[in-house]
Amino acid sequence: MQRFFFIVLMAIQLQACGPGTVRSVSRTDQEPVSHAGSLVREGNYRQAAAEYQQLAELYPDRSAEFQLQAAEAWYIAGEMENATVAAAAVGDQTRDQQIETRLGILEARIDIARNKPYSALERLRSLPLENVPGDYLEAIFETRSQAFEQLGNPGSASRERVALERYLKTQAARVENNRRIWENLNQMNADSLQRLRASSSDSLRGWIELALINQTMLLNPRALDTAVSLWNEQYPGHPAEAISAELLNESQINVFRPSRIALLLPFDGQYRQVAEAIRDGFLAAWYESTEYRPILSIYSANALNILDSYQQAVADGAEYIVGPLEREAVAQLTSQTGLPVKVLALNQYGAFENNTLPDADQNRIPPILQFGLLPEDEARQAAVHAFQNGHRNALLISRNEDYDRRVYQSFLQEWSNLGGRVISQIFYNPSNSDFSTPVRELLNVSNSEQRAATLQQRLNRSLRTETRLRDDADMIFLVARPEEARQLLPQLRFYRADSLPVYSSSRVYAGIINPQLDRDLDDIIFTDSPWVLAGKQSQTELQKSLNRNWQAEQSSYNRFYAFGIDAFGLIPHLGRLIRQNTVPYHGETGDLYLNSSGIINRKLAWARFKDGIAVLAEP
């Protein structure tokens, strides 16, 4: 879709500057210009780009135009480096507004391809919108929407796509644009949609109203039918009419409400307290539900007895099973074939080969779904977030433990896949009370001091020196527990590395509000569940109830209460998650998506410590 715009723009340019209208080119020299255009029409963009660059050298008075066409051809061919060089070659040459606009759009597109959405928006902000051809406006609004999508700002992306609608010329383009609007709005929870609605145009407001209906009434066909009818009366001829009809059909298909559920958790052994927190969250969500209250049976199940516990739950009449929790127990279930009752496992072991269904059954719920609070997911999201924020050169510092190495490796793999570089990496021993040594090594402090000492020795006199830190990094990824991070951050500040933003995972936050202890964590950027990051004003009634009755807010197992709540809340939404796999379930542990392998992925919230308190950050 991105490159299609430039194919169209180049086609328009070729029509405007065909053989009979080529300026400043003699009749005998029109052939190479026409040949370059023919290469574009044939889809041979690399060769066309090379010929346009030759034309730029042959005809200096039209160099800017030909260099721009070369850059556009390189871009369409996917050659971003060559496109960047050619665009830069346009330089400060005299050019008209259309060339200025095309260049700005192209450079913004290249930024998008390189995951630099902020830069793309800055370029587009400077482009004039008055007296600009519709094709250019189409490209501008499309590019702006993609930049906001990269930034994780679905509300602004939807606003741009609604503005884009009027410039789209084909039905296929309009259908695709509508799909993107729908996906973007359904990434937002009801509260965010309500805030967006207050400042929206009539068309966007119609989209928002329908998204709210989708999120709140899809499991209640009768209420949905009434709400959609009222929506159609209020917004006749709205672009989302086709989607409103789909909702009515899906409401009948999506219903999945097993009447008896078994909860299998390890209430004996090392995971007892985790299991109890999950159970309490699960029960709290069950009590809170007014539309769906299945019969619950709870079993103690671990890796030693999981198959027996599963069979007992089936014999007792369970229609759906939630659990087990232990990874080894999940592995045993995934090795089974022909499970009579489907399972929502509360951990992830890997792809389950028996989850594949025939094409006709793709809307059915797979035998085993896997849902876990995996730290690897957080590390990968941290890499993407840092990269989208413009960072490319990372320093990594991690505990030297198996769990933390998993987090570190996940960040490293995702960071490398994105194109980021790791400048240096350090592993520290958490039992060592000296945290200055790993920080000094990470920042090259020792090398700087050694150079100063060598210089003083050579000169044989005392010198006033200043430690010089490395300047080849632009961020730090930290894998640490709160007690270690509270010692590492002051060391980084002591060595004047506070200009480097520090990213981390939820491991850096105990989940308990304690400004006095956490003041040393100020400015760390980390990801966590909405449940943990909800301030007093934004807590749900369910959260207030758990805090009041179980002191969940002050528990180190806080996140597992949320896990239990989502384990129950997900069940009636599983049918919808399969059919609308780009539309999340807005849970307490994050926005939850179901992928084709039966894995439930989480998209978490972002926060930053300020005055010792974790506050939600803008995406």
Q: What is the pLDDT of residue 38?
A: 79
Please tell me the predicted confidence (pLDDT) of residue 359. Answer: 40
Nearest-CA neighbor of 494 among 455, 462, 464, 520?
520
CA distances from residue 232 to 69, 165, 171, 184 in whole angstroms, order as listed: 46, 19, 21, 21
- Which is nearest to 527 in space by CA: 458, 592, 608, 471? 608
Across 358-470, the runs of DSSP E, i.e. the strands, are 368-371, 393-399, 421-428
Residue 112 domain boundaries: 2-151
pLDDT of 141 over the 90 cut: yes
Residue 213 and residue 205 in contact, taking contact as beta carbons nearer than 8 Å:
no
- Residue 158 tokens read as 């939807």
**pLDDT (0 to 100) of residue 352:** 52
Q: Does 125 share its domain with 137? A: yes
363 and 426 inside one domain? no
- Whether residue 565 is contained in a domain is answered as yes
pLDDT on residue 554 = 72
Residues 6+ positions from 316 with CB-CB distance below 8 Å: 260, 262, 297
**Is the pLDDT score of 26 beyond 70?**
no
From 25-34, 208-217, 255-264, 592-601, the region with the lowest mean pLDDT = 25-34
Q: Considering the domain boundaries, does residue 181 fall inside one?
A: no
**pLDDT surpassing 70 at residue 96:** yes
* Domain-located, residue 485: yes
| Confidence category of residue 131, pLDDT binned at 50, 70, 90 | confident
Query: What pLDDT shows up at residue 495?
Result: 85
Mean pLDDT score, 371-396: 95
pLDDT value for 459: 46
d(CA 375, CA 404): 9
Residue 196 lies in a domain: no
Whether 157 is in a domain gets the answer: no
Are residues 502 and 579 both part of a single domain? no
* pLDDT the model gives residue 21: 37
**Across residues 335-350, what is the average pLDDT?**
93
pLDDT for the residue 438 = 86
Does 446 lie in the same domain as 432? yes
Structure tokens at 46: 């690399």
Residue 98: its pLDDT value, please? 83
Give the CB-side neighbour count of residue 469, counting CA atoms within 13 A: 17
**Shared-domain flag, residues 479 and 550:** no
pLDDT score of 43: 82
Q: Inform me whether the pLDDT recorded for 341 exceeds 60.
A: yes
Same domain, 368 and 380: no
Mean pLDDT of the chain: 87
Q: Tell me if the bond preceding 266 is cis, omega within 30° of 0.
A: no
Whether residue 216 contacts residue 532, with contact meaning beta carbons closer than 8 Å, is answered with: no
Phi, psi for 458 (deg, rounded to 5): -65, -40
Q: 51 with 125, same domain?
A: yes
Residue at 554 is within a domain: yes
Tell me what percent of the residues of the chain surpass a pLDDT of 70. Answer: 86
* pLDDT of amino acid 468: 60
Query: What pLDDT does 30 receive?
Result: 57
Higher-scoring residue by pLDDT: 30, 45: 45
| CA 112 to chain CA centroid, nearest Å | 15
Query: Would the pLDDT of 598 be above 60?
Result: yes
Put simply, whether the predicted model's pTM sits higher than 0.85 gets the answer no
Same domain, 612 and 484: yes
d(CA 541, CA 533): 15
In a domain, 308, yes or no: yes
Lowest mean pLDDT among 1-15, 259-273, 379-393, 494-508: 1-15
Number of structural domains (the chain) is: 4
Which secondary-structure segment (H or E) carries 14? helix 2-16
- Quick check: is 159 in a domain? no
For tokens 């999950």, the residue is 278
Taking 70 as the threshold, does the pLDDT of residue 452 lie above it?
no
- 384 and 522 in a single domain? The answer is yes
The bridge status of strand 421-428 relative to strand 502-504 is unpaired
> What is the signed CA dihedral for 119, 73, 5, 184, rounded to 10 degrees?
-40
d(CA 393, CA 418): 12
404-436: buried (b, 16+ CB within 10 Å) or exposed (e) per residue? beebbebbbebbeebebeebbebebeeeeeebe
In three-state secondary structure terms, 137 is helix
Q: Work out the pLDDT band at 377, boundaries 50, 70, 90.
A: very high
Least-confidence region, from 158-167, 430-439, 514-523, 569-578: 430-439
Please give the C-alpha separations between residue 571 and each of 15, 151, 264, 343, 574, in angstroms, as whole numbers.
57, 30, 15, 10, 6
pLDDT at 445 over 80: no
pLDDT tens by residue, 533-576: 986 656 778 888 787 776 766 778 999 999 999 999 999 999 88
Confidence of residue 210 (pLDDT cuts 50, 70, 90): very high
What are the pLDDT digits (tens) for 61-84? 888 889 999 999 999 999 999 999
CB 305 within 8 A of CB 297: no
pLDDT at 433 over 80: no
Share of the chain above pLDDT 90, in %: 60
Determine which of 115-129, 354-368, 391-405, 566-580 has the lowest per-residue pLDDT on average: 354-368
pLDDT for 471 beyond 90: no
Q: Which residue shows structure tokens 């207050």? A: 198
DSSP state of 365: P
pLDDT at 451: 47
20 band by pLDDT with thresholds 50, 70 and 90: very low
Check whether residue 273 and residue 343 sit in a common domain.
Answer: yes
Residue ranges of alpha helices (H) inside 556-599 are 558-569, 574-579
Mean pLDDT in residue range 118-125:
94
pLDDT confidence of 17, banded at 50, 70, 90?
very low
Domain with 430 in it: what CATH number? 3.40.50.2300
Looking at the DSSP assignment, which residues form a beta bridge with residue 411?
none
Q: Do both 400 and 322 map to the same domain?
A: no
Token pair in block for residue 255: 């219903």
Domain with 106 in it: what CATH number?
1.25.40
pLDDT in tens, 179-197: 999 999 999 999 899 999 9
pLDDT average, residue stretch 252-263: 87
pLDDT tens column, 229-243: 999 999 999 999 999
pLDDT the model gives residue 3: 56
Are 535 and 575 found together in one domain?
Answer: no
Region of poorest pLDDT, from 21-25, 442-446, 594-598: 21-25
> Residue 203 has what pLDDT?
96
pLDDT above 50 for 465? no
In the predicted structure, residue 257 carries a pLDDT above the cut 60? yes
Rounded mean pLDDT of 416-432? 92
Calculate mean pLDDT across residues 479-502. Answer: 92
Higher pLDDT, 32 or 245: 245
Helix, strand, coil shares of the chain, percent, nearest 5, are 55, 10, 30
* C-alpha dist (Å) from residue 536 to 119, 161, 328, 561: 36, 35, 38, 17
